[in-house]
């Protein structure tokens, strides 16, 4: 089919104009409009012969990213220009000097930042932990880089359908792992919600469609309920001369799915499927008073659940979010969440950081500024392992916060479940390093004591106290973890120096020349990650050096005397040398159950995959290849951080081996029900059981049965049959 290029050019021009029309947050001076038009012309020319996987001209992508930046985040002309040009330096003949000459230094700096992290956020590759530092470095220079990259990721997620399944899973995993929390931290609630929903649509398509369909079917009932519920509230708000708007909003599909999984309940039992939002049009000086007046009106009509009151107006969240949340009982016996906020608060909640700056007053340091400062502190630790860096950074993306006080009344905000030791490091590093214990509300508590909002904390110190490794098991904040690790690493280096001397002496004893040889095999033998770890474990006597007699030097390498290299070891080496490649071979596929396949693989215990499950192979360092379900709890982290060690995998169609699967059965306890269940499993369906346990409490039973099945279809048939048993309320597969 021939493409009508003239018609296509007109449609592209229309898309650009539509984006510009939607840019209500942009200062549309003649100069800005000329610069934006120029950026579009440059991008159009640079990408004119390129098409996306979907077949459409590539230029639609930067236009869409620019539209998200201005319409959904609220950014201005500079960001629109950079969004339009964001892929030019990476993918075309243009360079940064061209950008600076045509548009200016700031635009070139932002495009440079976008180009530097392209390997991390590029659509075709997965996050490499080592590159992650680039994101943080850029974030601390100009946050617009991250905002544009988030817009880029959102558009890519919206258009993921044309990609292969394995790429979809990798991209969805890294989106859920890092980019949705990042959007949350930047206050972009709408973007965070959509990124989570789109990731779920890829990872759990059946669950997504089921929840989406049920929300659609219940839409009319919800609308009627909200209208009826809000009638007395609206009338009272009007009588109190408050200007307002009332909206009913369903919870996101991801949050409903999350609640169903965490609480182990079906869709019908998730009570807060939607929230009522009251948005007040208040003058700045009256905002707080008006919100509490509205709260008083709501609770005059409906009984509140005191435990569910959240006051983020008096103390806003770290991302700037302000709102009053309460949950009240409706006349029909349903709990309803009511959110009360002003127009300004609502704009900040939806547009995040960009809207926050619009309302920023004077030179007062914002919460976002404090977060950026924490990021810079994080980057000061030059020796930090990249994966630790990601973990530490994610600690800084926490959702729930608590507020605690020093003896002088100064407030510190910390993540939920933070400890007394976290508080000590939050006040000052030296206080944390020498922390011996704490008094919370004048009561002596251990370092691991979990703090609650409103606690007043006094830290007790000793000059002889030093950080211990077990501290890392209970601290929650990035600052505490980073400082403890830095102290322990320094201590480890000192001990490692002693360990190296001990090893040299042992080499001499066994007449092994130590100079100019590689110790990688020795590291592998003792299962340590680095030479420093090897020397350290020698110093603290965790390694038995008598085993050295089993080694010899061959070609400058220390090797076991009876070293037999299996095909898998060679294969593993080949896999790990591919870590810098963006793509693995499209034909590379591990066939599970294929007798011709000599690779060493095993099924992961964390998710117990069976034939029919969508799976992938993961190359471990010491245990061969592990087969995981794509729905495995660990899949998100593995696919995000170790893409180069992931192998496509499928089940052999003819396979009829029995695999172990666990099912949970819930129901009403009755005489003979266990016998009925076991009869169906063993006699009717001829399924072998490995273990069975039933527990009954107040007339409700919960059973756990592990059975041998051939594949997911076999298991589904068993579950359907058991669901029909009289008294059984729910049957589901569980990972065990």
Instruction: Tell the residue number behind the tokens 């609220």, with chain if given.
Output: 74
Question: How many C-beta atoms surround the C-beta of residue 330 within 10 A?
Answer: 15
The b-or-e profile of 31-57 (16+ CB within 10 A means b, else e) is ebeebbeebbebbbebbeeeebeeeeb
Instruction: Tell the residue number behind the tokens 């950008």, with chain if given.
Output: 99
Cβ neighbours of residue 516 closer than 8 Å, sequence gap 6 or more: 556
Cα separations (Å) of 88 from 69, 111, 513, 556? 17, 9, 55, 47
Angle at 61 between CA 55 and CA 65, to 5 degrees: 160
Please state, in angstroms and rounded to a whole number, the distance separating the CA atoms of residues 594 and 660.
19
Pick the catalytic residue from 11, 21, 34, 90: 90
Angle at 22 between CA 18 and CA 24, to 5 degrees: 150
Please state, in angstroms and rounded to a whole number, the distance separating the CA atoms of residues 114 and 121.
9
Are β-strands 274-280 and 335-342 bridged in parallel, bridged antiparallel, or unpaired?
Answer: parallel
Element (H, E) at 495: helix 478-509
Query: Contact at 8 Å (CB) between 70 and 33?
Result: no
Pick the catalytic residue from 91, 122, 377, 723: 91
The answer to whether 91 is a known catalytic residue is yes
**φ/ψ bin of 599: left (φ > 0), alpha (ψ from -120 to 50), beta (otherwise):** beta
Please state, in angstroms and rounded to a whole number, the distance separating the CA atoms of residues 722 and 677.
7
CA dihedral of residues 41, 47, 52, 57 (deg, nearest 10): 50
DSSP states of 74-111 as a string? ---HHHHHHHHTTTHHHHSS--HHHHHHHH-HHHHHHH
The answer to whether 90 is a known catalytic residue is yes
Please state, in angstroms and rounded to a whole number, the distance separating the CA atoms of residues 658 and 660.
7
Query: Contact at 8 Å (CB) between 418 and 450?
Result: yes
Tokens of 649: 């995998």
- Nearest Cα neighbor of 638 from 626, 650, 624 is 626
Instruction: Return the active site residues.
Output: 90-91
């Amino acid at each position: 089919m021939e493409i009508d290029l003239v018609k296509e050019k007109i449609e592209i021009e229309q898309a650009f104009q539509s984006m510009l029309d939607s840019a209500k947050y942009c200062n549309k001076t003649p100069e800005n409009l000329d610069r934006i038009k120029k950026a579009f012309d440059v991008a159009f020319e640079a990408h004119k012969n390129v098409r996306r996987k979907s077949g459409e001209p590539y230029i639609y992508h930067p236009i869409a990213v620019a539209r998200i930046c201005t319409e959904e985040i609220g950014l201005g002309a500079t960001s629109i220009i950079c969004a339009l040009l964001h892929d030019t330096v990476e993918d075309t003949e243009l360079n940064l000097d061209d950008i600076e000459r045509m548009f200016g230094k700031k635009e070139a700096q932002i495009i440079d930042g976008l180009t530097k992290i392209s390997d991390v956020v590029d659509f075709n590759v997965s996050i490499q932990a080592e590159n992650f530092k680039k994101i943080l470095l850029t974030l601390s220079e100009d946050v617009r880089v991250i905002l544009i990259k988030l817009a880029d990721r959102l558009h890519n997620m919206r258009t993921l359908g044309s990609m292969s399944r394995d790429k979809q899973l990798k991209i969805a995993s890294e989106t859920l792992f890092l980019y949705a929390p990042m959007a949350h931290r930047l206050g972009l609630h709408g973007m965070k919600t959509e990124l989570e929903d789109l990731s779920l649509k890829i990872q759990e398509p059946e669950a997504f469609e089921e929840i989406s369909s049920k929300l659609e079917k219940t839409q009319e009932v919800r609308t009627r309920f909200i209208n009826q519920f809000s009638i007395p509230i609206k009338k009272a708000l009007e009588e109190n001369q408050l200007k307002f708007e009332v909206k009913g909003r369903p919870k996101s599909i991801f949050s409903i799915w999350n609640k169903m999984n965490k609480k182990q309940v079906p869709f019908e039992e998730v009570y807060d499927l939607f929230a009522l939002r009251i948005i007040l049009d208040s003058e700045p000086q009256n905002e707080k008073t008006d919100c509490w007046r509205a709260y008083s009106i709501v609770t005059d009509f409906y009984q509140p659940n005191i435990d569910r009151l959240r006051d983020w107006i008096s103390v806003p969240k770290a991302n700037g979010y302000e709102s009053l949340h309460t949950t009240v009982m409706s006349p029909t016996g349903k709990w309803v969440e009511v959110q009360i906020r002003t127009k300004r608060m609502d704009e900040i909640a939806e547009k995040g950081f960009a809207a926050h700056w619009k309302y920023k007053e004077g030179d007062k340091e914002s919460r976002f500024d404090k977060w950026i400062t924490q990021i810079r502190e994080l980057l000061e630790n030059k020796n930090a392992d990249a994966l630790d860096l990601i973990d530490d950074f994610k600690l800084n993306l926490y959702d729930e916060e608590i507020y605690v006080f020093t003896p002088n009344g100064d407030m510190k905000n910390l993540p939920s479940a933070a400890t007394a030791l976290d508080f000590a490091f939050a006040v000052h590093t030296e206080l944390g390093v020498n922390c011996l214990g704490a008094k919370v509300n004048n009561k002596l508590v251990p370092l691991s004591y979990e703090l609650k909002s409103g606690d007043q904390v006094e830290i007790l110190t000793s000059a002889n106290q030093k950080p211990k490794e077990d501290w890392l098991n209970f601290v929650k904040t990035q600052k505490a973890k980073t400082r403890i690790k830095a102290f322990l690493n320094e201590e480890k280096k000192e001990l490692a120096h002693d360990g190296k001397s001990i090893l040299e002496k042992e080499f001499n004893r066994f007449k092994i020349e130590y100079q100019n040889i590689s110790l990688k095999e020795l590291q592998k033998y003792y299962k340590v990650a680095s030479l420093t770890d090897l020397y350290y474990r020698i110093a603290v006597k965790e390694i038995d050096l008598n085993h050295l007699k089993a080694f010899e030097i061959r070609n400058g390498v220390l090797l076991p005397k009876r070293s037999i290299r299996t095909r898998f070891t060679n294969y593993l080496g080949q896999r790990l040398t591919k870590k810098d490649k963006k793509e693995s071979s499209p034909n590379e596929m591990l066939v599970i159950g294929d007798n011709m396949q000599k690779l060493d693989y095993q099924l992961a215990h964390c998710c117990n995959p069976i034939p029919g499950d969508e799976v992938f192979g993961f190359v471990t360092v010491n245990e061969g290849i592990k087969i995981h379900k794509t729905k495995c709890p660990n899949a998100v982290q593995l696919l995000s951080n170790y893409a180069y060690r992931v192998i496509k995998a499928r089940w052999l169609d003819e396979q009829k081996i029995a695999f172990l699967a666990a099912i949970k059965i819930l129901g009403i306890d009755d005489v003979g029900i266990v016998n009925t269940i076991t009869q169906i499993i063993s006699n009717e369906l001829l399924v072998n059981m490995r273990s069975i346990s039933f527990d009954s409490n107040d007339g409700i039973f919960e059973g756990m049965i592990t059975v041998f099945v051939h594949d997911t279809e076999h298991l589904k048939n068993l579950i359907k049959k058991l669901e029909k048993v009289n008294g059984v309320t729910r049957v589901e597969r569980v990972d065990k």
